[in-house]
Chains A and B, each alone.
Chain A
Amino acid sequence: MNTPISSMLWVIGGSVIGSFGAVYLKLGAERLQINLRSLAVNWRLAVGIVFYLLSSVLYTIGVKHGELSVLYPLVSVGSIWTLLWSKLLLGEKLTKPKFVAVGMILAGCALLGLGGGKKETTGTPTAAETRHAGRDLSAR
């Protein structure tokens, strides 16, 4: 089975939006105070949560067609975007361990994709399918 380019674009788009969601969650979290009024006016937190949900919807559309072994590692590309935004938008320092760690995590996710990537129509669900089960729901 081939993986259509459109599926890859959905997943990559989802990872970009998800990483922006994380940035806004961070911005919102910094301004977080535990009282109802400040929670209600914390638009950054709200934007973060909406983007986070939106990225799940895009992932769901993406993984409907195509091989999970290809699409699964693409999801973890979100870590790369997040590093980029952390540096550009949040002014965090990018140190060598961070690059090394993200590289290792990407490699690990690629291996997980290879190990459980076959899309089964019957039988036990693969780990990757399990991971997306919740997202299937949110898209309907």
Chain B
Amino acid sequence: MVLVCTVIGAAAQVLIKKGTVALGENPTMVETALGILTTRDLFAGYALLGISTVLLVLALRQGELSLLYPVLTLTYVWVTVLSMIIFHDSMNVFKVAGISIIIAGVAVLGRASRQ
């Protein structure tokens, strides 16, 4: 459940980033609020952010916080991968190494949670 939550959270952030272009350089608070309601990407992004928070709360009903919270860092991994695909961010050795170590760390937690 937390895994799904991180994927949705990452998708939300990418959509929000994509949607901010529509807001222009320095939007006022009113423009921002209107933008969220009228821009498809922004609206979808914030909706997904809400869904991911709800999923997190549902996951926390049963799981230990000290196990689940670190797993949320996977969001960074998905955002890095998604921005590569959507925004054509460059990939480099640091990013690949960082992603690998984070995934390995989460795997350690996954094993610990089954014991």
Contacts and interface: CB of A to CB of B under 8 A. Distances in A.
Contacts of A50: none
Nearest to A80: B70
A102 B105 contact: yes
A76 B12 CA distance: 19
A23 interface: yes
Nearest to B90: A124
Interface size class of A (residues with CB under 8 A): 35 or more
Nearest to A102: B70
A22 B53 CA distance: 11
Interface in B55-98: 56-58, 60-61, 64-67, 69-70, 73, 75-76, 79-80, 83-84, 87-89, 92-98
Contact of A130 (B32, B36, B83): B83
Interface residues of B, number: 56
A39 B89 CA distance: 41
Contacts of B89: 116, 124-127
Given A22-B65, A131-B13, A105 B102 contact: yes
B76 A86 contact: no
Given A82-B66, A112-B76, A101 B106 contact: yes
A130 B79 contact: yes
B79 A127 contact: yes
B100 interface: yes
B98 A32 contact: no
Nearest to A73: B98
A95 to B, nearest CB: 6
Contacts of A64: none
A115 B98 contact: yes
Given A45-B57, A124-B87, A83 B66 contact: yes
A97 B67 CA distance: 10
B1 to A, nearest CB: 12
Nearest to B20: A133
Contacts of A137: 16, 20, 23, 32, 36
5 contacts: A22-B65, A29-B60, A83-B69, A87-B66, A109-B73
The 4 closest A-B pairs by CB, nearest first: A115-B94, A104-B105, A111-B98, A108-B102
